[in-house]
Amino acid sequence: MPASDLDLLEQAAREAGEIALRYWRNDPQSWEKDAGAGPVSEADLAVNAHLEQFLRAARPHYGWLSEESADDPSRLDAEHCFIIDPIDGTRAFLSGQEGFSHSLAISTGNRISAAVVHLPAREQTYTACQDGPALLNGQVINPVEHDIRNARVLTSKPSLDPAFWRGVVPPVRREFRPSLAWRLCLVAEGQFHAALSTRAAWEWDIAAGNLIAERAGCLATEISGRPMRFNTARALTEGLVVAPPHLHNQLIAALGQMWSHEFGPGAKL
């Protein structure tokens, strides 16, 4: 049995990657979820089934929250809870791209205490625990500070709608990656300067990346600047801003008050 929660998550993530790669670029069956919630594939379900069996057997008293499992309200009473996205970036996975990940986290109370984001096709594993550094393949990572002007920001096109900003949209350079969990990790390692979503985000998409970014040295908050809380009843956060402190504060100051659910909660941006 792994000695720590982080060791457990790492082992589970690597096993998830082995399962996913059996389906990747092998024409897995897929279909659209209800209510425009995006695609799901037989690979998502296979990974989810393995993770639930493996992790819950190891920690039977932990709660369980996963994108591909029916929600069990009893998780709200658990001191610890697994928060899992079996495959983050399913569209990328189905199109044969490398930028999909497995996002595995454990909450203690309403904060994340252990986190792994694993990209099996890229052989990259990001890890963090609540009292240690953020690592990529065992090496310490840190973000890169930058002024808001010309900052490289990972976000979707709708986030740069003027309605979300006070005055003019700041002159950032928008870029995109398919996995939201990976986006937070890319900021944590300094490949990009910030990640931003003006729409509500599901906890399973961001829980692991949130801790990795924080332990690397970023601020990771809701779009209002409030701290993120996890294992909540709705399992949603009100958008996100992830960046080193100076740029984070600039982005929060530049954002307006227009964020709301009318823009569609839970989108994979």
Distance separating alpha carbons of residues 222 and 199, to the nearest angstrom? 10
What single DSSP character describes residue 210? H
Whole-prediction pTM value? 0.94
What pLDDT score was predicted for residue 257?
57
- Residue 267: inside a domain, yes or no? no
- Residue 261: inside a domain, yes or no? no
Pairing between β-strand 80-88 and β-strand 101-108 as defined by DSSP bridges: antiparallel
- Model confidence pLDDT, tens digit, residues 97-141: 999 999 999 999 999 999 999 999 999 999 999 999 999 999 999
How many domains, the chain?
A: 2
**In the structure, what pLDDT confidence band is assigned to residue 2 with cuts at 50, 70 and 90?**
low
Is 87 one of the annotated binding-site residues? yes
212 and 249 belong to one structural domain = yes
Helix or strand or coil: residue 130? coil
78 and 10 belong to one structural domain = yes
Helix or strand or coil: residue 63? strand
Distance separating alpha carbons of residues 30 and 41, to the nearest angstrom? 4
The phi-psi region of residue 155 (left if phi > 0; otherwise alpha if psi is between -120 and 50; otherwise beta) is beta
Pairing between β-strand 101-108 and β-strand 111-119 as defined by DSSP bridges: antiparallel
111 and 202 belong to one structural domain = no
What pLDDT score was predicted for residue 72?
94
- Residue 208: inside a domain, yes or no? yes
105 and 125 belong to one structural domain = yes
- Residue 262: inside a domain, yes or no? no
Distance separating alpha carbons of residues 228 and 241, to the nearest angstrom? 10
- Model confidence pLDDT, tens digit, residues 160-197: 999 999 989 999 999 999 999 999 999 999 999 999 99
20 and 132 belong to one structural domain = yes
CA 176 to chain centre: 14
14 and 121 belong to one structural domain = yes
Distance separating alpha carbons of residues 243 and 148, to the nearest angstrom? 10
Distance separating alpha carbons of residues 229 and 215, to the nearest angstrom? 16
- Model confidence pLDDT, tens digit, residues 39-92: 999 999 999 999 999 999 999 999 999 999 999 999 999 999 999 999 999 999
95 and 135 belong to one structural domain = yes
For the record, the structure tokens of 99 come out as 């930028």
What pLDDT score was predicted for residue 36?
66
Is 205 one of the annotated binding-site residues? yes
- 265, pLDDT greater than 80: no
Distance separating alpha carbons of residues 193 and 172, to the nearest angstrom? 10
Is 88 one of the annotated binding-site residues? yes
- Model confidence pLDDT, tens digit, residues 199-238: 999 999 999 999 999 999 999 999 999 999 999 999 999 9
- Residue 260: inside a domain, yes or no? no
The number of CA neighbours under 13 Å toward the Cβ of 74 is 7
Domain boundary among 79, 109, 140: 140
100 and 9 belong to one structural domain = yes
Tell me the CATH number at 167: 3.40.190.80
17 and 119 belong to one structural domain = yes
CA 157 to chain centre: 19
- Residue 53, C-beta contacts closer than 8 angstroms, at least 6 positions apart: none
44 and 104 belong to one structural domain = yes
Distance separating alpha carbons of residues 245 and 248, to the nearest angstrom? 5
Which sign does the torsion angle of CA 130, 133, 134, 139 carry?
negative
**In the structure, what pLDDT confidence band is assigned to residue 34 with cuts at 50, 70 and 90?**
confident
Is 147 one of the annotated binding-site residues? no
124 and 185 belong to one structural domain = no
Domain that holds residue 134: 5-140
What pLDDT score was predicted for residue 66?
98
Is 67 one of the annotated binding-site residues? yes
For the record, the structure tokens of 237 come out as 């956060």
Domain boundary among 81, 108, 140: 140
123 and 96 belong to one structural domain = yes
